[in-house]
Each structure stands twice: as structure tokens, then as C-alpha cells.
Structure 1
Amino acid sequence: MQDRQTRCGFVATLGRPNAGKSTLLNALLGQKISLTSHKANATRKQLQVIVPHSGIDERGAYDAQIVFVDTPGIHHQEKLLNQYMLAQSLRAMSDCDMGIYLAPASDEVRHYEEFLNLSRDKAVHNRHILLLSKTDMLDNATLMRKLAQYQPYQSHYLALIPVSVKRGFAPNELLDVVARFLPDSAFLFDEECVTTAQTKEIAKEFIRESLFENLSDEIPYESDVIIQSYEEGKIERIYATIIVEKQSQKGVVIGADAQTIKRIGIFARKNIESLVGKKVFLKLQVSVQKGWSKEIKKLKKVGYDCTDMS
């Protein structure tokens, strides 16, 4: 009997803001790990999500450990924080074995051309799967025309796959394709591990997600979260500070009779409880830190190391 192969590799999930990268990874993993929001540019840092998969293909029977690297949306802005976010995506393009580029069905093909130009000297340039996402927005005839628009670029992508997480998504079909191109390798992580991120890092992202869901305008983009204390036990106790740029934003985050910050806390706490499988006590406070997103030293204190941006 032929031995089963082991395959392992890093796969960057790439695309413009709000392309559905985090939603896809949560669907592949079968649980919520990545921050999702209907607002663009919610993801700010890389997050590694580890998905196991087994199958048989032309290379033989295999067990695979696929390390997906969630990245911020590819965009260009002058703000220092946005430059950091783009640097995170560019680094993933170079460091990962392959990529998945998500192109929403509503996107113009020129955005994919911009990705090809941006990735020209990166590892993923000719080693990526082109995923046409959010296809529930199209009827079959329109979908066929959209797929045809990407055919001239087939020398660059490994496969072109239309998907809709909302309409019904078969993760194994995509995982089969990804595994086909993974390198032969021993597993790099414990088989029970689903992410390399610490629980407190995910908790921070869930609180940020709650800001996006419960606040409007510019506040979610000019705010962040610092976990001051994370105490494990029968009840997880989390003390966190929401930082904002302006005094007026602090008042909006707290809300009349502290109703807004209570709503933010309830939304975040439920997601954290679902992750850790136990009760969570979450205490939030708000602090004004003017210019926190505009200076390298202040960004570093919040957890964004901009020193190696190219």
C-alpha cells in the first residue's frame, strides 16, 4: 500500500478591500476566527488560519496542512496606517508558497491587472488561484461573460473558480485545488492548532469588529483596541481600551447613558465566548490618543510595527 503524502504550505488570501477574504477563511475553517465587516479595510494585520485537508489527486493520497494568511485589502492611501496595511499584503505575496486572489463579481478586470502588476516580482505572481467571489449577484449568463473576461490572463493563474459563500459553498472543492499545488512537506504546526494567533489577539479583533458594526462614519477607521489584561480561568476576564483620535469620538463611542459602549461590549463578548467556549467578562474603556495612527512610535505601541515597511 502506497504511503500517504504530507503536504504543507502558506497560502496568501489577497484582494481589494471588502472582497470577502475573511469571510472565506471563516467558511473554510468552519468557525469564526477572522474579523469580518461590510465596511472596507477592516483587516489591518496578517492572521494565519490553519486548515487540515485530506484527499487523492494525480500526485497520490495525501494529508495536507494549509496555512492561509489573511491579509488587509490591497489599496493605496497616504495615511501611515494604510501604508502599513499594504506592506502586510506585499509581504504575504513574497513569503507565501502560493496565493488566492479574490475578485468580487462586481469588480472590473482592471483591478486584477493592477494586482498582477503589483505582484510582478512576488512569489504569488504566477502561483495563485483566481477566485471569482460573490457570484450570487450574477445570473448564469452574466457569470459566463465575467469568467470569459479573465480567460486572457490564464497564463498567470493556476485555476479560475467561481464561488458564493452566501449561496452555498463547498470548501472541499477549493481545498482540493489548493492542495494540488502545495509542496511536499511535514506539518509545521500541531494538528489541533487552528491559528497561530493568541486568543487575546483574536479578542482584540472581535472588539474592533464590534466597532465597525456599531459605529458609523470615520470612527472605526480612527480607532483601535489595546488589550490591557487577559485573565484565563473558569471565566475569561478581559480588560481593554478603545483608543480614538478625538474627544468628540470618545463621546460617540460611549453614547448616551453608556448605551453604545454596552452594545459594543455585548457584540464582542458573544463572539469571544463562541471562540473560547466559556463565559467571558469584558470591561471596556475609551481613551483619546491624538494622532495615534499618524506617527510610527504611536502605531508601534498599538501593535503595528512600521519600521520594516518598504
Structure 2
Amino acid sequence: MNCGYVALIGRPNVGKSTLMNHLLGQKLSITSRKPQTTRHRILGIKTTAAGQAIFMDTPGMHSDEKKVLNRYLNKTADSTLLGVDVVIWLLDGLYWHDYDEKIFKKLERAGLPVILAINKVDKIKDKDAVLKFFAEAQQKYPFQHIVPVSALKNTNLDVLEQHIMALLPEAEPIYPEDQITDRPERFFAAEIIREKLTRRLGDELPYALTVEIERYEEFPELCKIYAAILVERDSQKSIVIGKQGEMLKKVGSEARVDIEKLIGQKVYLELWVKVKKGWSDNERALQSLGFIDFGD
């Protein structure tokens, strides 16, 4: 059997989390149309007859490092290249961005086999342009394979998976075949709540908030979850709560349904909003909130 670690990298919002979810056939990483939705390194394990691929979904690589949180996201993405066996670099179209040059340099230093996956290929009508871009890409970097995919529609994901498995080293599985991640359920509960907030609040304040699970109590018939939504200013608190508490109720209701699907059990979910000033620019505060994998 083949077994190894696969890093999913790329700029923010190109579809890395959607790609991993569809490769696994199960939702692990939260998704939204907002950049920087993924904040932690998330492991997704897929075991088949051919072997075991351990996918690592990462925050998008970006150039903005104004806050400690931004630097954390970049360091988490960079550290993922250490100790992996294959890299999937995801683009969302037939063009390069300025920051892609930095990604080329990171990959050259890592010296790993890289598959370039072009996402959202179903939206590209000019097939000649696709072939031209493939030829140009191969001149820029010695990619092992270039695969056009649609993560959302499962287009060519079977081909991508075959290439991945073939590049992984021969080895026994690292994880049991029924294990799909290394994160606890309370981590995913917080992520699901944050996903609902990010989708509901649009452009208003998705980056100014985070979610902390204060209590997670498991009983035979019910799981009780008490979660604090942290914002940086009082004005943001009122936005999250909404008029007569409507926003918070909707977020709670949507999150509870998804958490119940994840853990296969009835859930009692209680949410409240707290102001924690400057949490995203405070290293100690970030570590207390679970942002600790700078390179571990």
C-alpha cells in the first residue's frame, strides 16, 4: 500500500477546503465565499484499497501580515510543507497572481513532487486557452501533473486522486481505516458555528470574530455545547446578536443542525457574544483560543 501526507496549498479562497471535503466524501473543513475562512491546519484521512492519503487543508498563503493572526495563518500554511510527501497547488483560473511567485520559491525550497490543479474548470469555455496555460505552467515549474478539476462538481477528482496515490511512498497506513481526522468533535463544533456566522454576516465582520467552546458535555441521549462568540468591539457585538436576537438565533439553529449531523446525536447549543478587544493581534490571546500550530 501507499501512504503519506498531502498538502493542499494556494491563495485564499481558491477552493482548497471544498476540494478536500469532496475528496474525502465528507465535510470537515468549513467553507464560505470569504477569504481566510480556513484558519487552522485540518487533517482529512482517506483510506482506500490503494492506500491512505492524509490531506492537510491549510489557510491560504497571502501577503498581508499586518496582524498576529495574519502571520499565524501564513506560518501555518508554510509549516505544512514540512514533512509532507505530495503537494497539491490549487489555482482558481488560468492566471497567476503576484504572490504566486513566492509560492514558487517556497516549493523550490521544499523540493517535493507538486500537482497543479486548476479549479472551476467547468466555467472555462475556451479549451485552447486551457492547453496554452498548461504548456506555460510546465515551463514555469516541473509539475508532476496538471489536472483541470471542479471541486464543487467532482470533475476529474478521481484522476487527481489516482495521481496522488501513485506519488505517495510505499508504507503501511498511519491511521485506522475508519478514522477521518485527528481533530476532536468540539473543534468542529466551533468551526461550524464560525461558518454560519461568516456566511450570515457577509462582509461586515467575519475576520473580527472567533468562537470558543467553553463547555462540551456528552450524555447518552444529548450533547450540550456552550459556545462564546468573541468579537473585538461593542459595535460588533450588536451586529452578531441582531435585532431582538434574531441573528444569533438563526446562527444557532443552523449550526445545531450541522453539528447533529456531524456527531450523530441530538444537540443542545447555547451561544452568547463576548467582547475580547484585540484578540486577533495578541499572541497570548490567540494561543488561548487554540491557534498554537505555528510549526508543530
> Equivalent residue for 1:202?
188
> Equivalent residue for 2:87?
99
The 1-side partners of 2:217 and 2:163 are apart by 41
Identity %: 35
Counterpart code for 1:115: I
The 1-side partners of 2:291 and 2:97 are apart by 32
> Equivalent residue for 1:277?
264
> Equivalent residue for 1:119?
107
CA contact (8 A) 2:150 2:156 kept: no
> Equivalent residue for 1:136?
122
> Equivalent residue for 1:20?
15
CA contact (8 A) 1:76 1:83 kept: no
> Equivalent residue for 1:184?
170
Match of 1:41 among 36, 39, 42: 36
Q: Does 1:211 align with 2:197?
A: yes
Q: Structure 1 107/210 Cα, relative in aligned 2: closer, same or farther at 3 Å?
A: farther
The 2-side partners of 1:128 and 1:151 are apart by 11
Q: Compute the displacement of 1:110 (Å).
A: 5.0
In structure 1, runs of 5+ residues without a counterpart are: 1-5, 55-62
Q: Secondary structure at the match of 1:102?
A: strand
Q: Secondary structure at the match of 1:93?
A: coil
Per-residue CA shift, 1:11-43, capped at 9, x if unaligned? 110000001000001101111111111111110
CA contact (8 A) 2:86 2:113 kept: yes
Per-residue CA shift, 1:239-279, capped at 9, x if unaligned? 10000000000000000010001111122122212211222
Tell me the C-alpha RMSD between the 2 structures: 1.8
Q: Does 1:72 align with 2:59?
A: yes
Counterpart code for 1:201: F
Q: Does 1:301 align with 2:288?
A: yes
CA contact (8 A) 1:135 1:163 kept: yes
The 1-side partners of 2:223 and 2:156 are apart by 34
The 2-side partners of 1:166 and 1:32 are apart by 12
CA contact (8 A) 1:64 1:179 kept: yes
CA contact (8 A) 1:53 1:175 kept: no
Per-residue CA shift, 1:88-114, capped at 9, x if unaligned? 011001221121000111542655433
The 1-side partners of 2:193 and 2:155 are apart by 27
The 2-side partners of 1:267 and 1:143 are apart by 39
Q: Structure 1 7/167 Cα, relative in aligned 2: closer, same or farther at 3 Å?
A: closer
Q: Does 1:149 align with 2:149?
A: no
The 2-side partners of 1:305 and 1:166 are apart by 30
Per-residue CA shift, 1:173-199, capped at 9, x if unaligned? 221110101111111111110111111
Q: Compute the displacement of 1:161 (Å).
A: 0.4
The 2-side partners of 1:172 and 1:135 are apart by 15
The 2-side partners of 1:8 and 1:111 are apart by 31
> Equivalent residue for 2:73?
85
> Equivalent residue for 1:31?
26
Map 1:283-294 to 2 at 5 A: 283-294=270-281
In structure 2, runs of 5+ residues without a counterpart are: none
Q: Compute the displacement of 1:219 (Å).
A: 1.4
Q: Secondary structure at the match of 1:23?
A: helix
Q: Compute the displacement of 1:142 (Å).
A: 3.0
After superposing the two structures, state which structure 1 stretch, 235-244 or 142-151, moved more. 142-151
Counterpart code for 1:50: I
Q: Compute the displacement of 1:281 (Å).
A: 1.4
Counterpart code for 1:142: A
Q: Secondary structure at the match of 2:17?
A: helix
CA contact (8 A) 1:109 1:149 kept: no
Per-residue CA shift, 1:64-118, capped at 9, x if unaligned? 1110011000002221101001000110012211210001115426554331113
After superposing the two structures, state which structure 1 stretch, 142-151 or 250-259, moved more. 142-151
Q: TM-score, normalised by structure 2?
A: 0.93
Q: Compute the displacement of 1:154 (Å).
A: 4.7
Q: Does 1:7 align with 2:23?
A: no
Counterpart code for 2:138: Q
Q: Does 1:220 align with 2:240?
A: no
CA contact (8 A) 2:63 2:99 kept: no
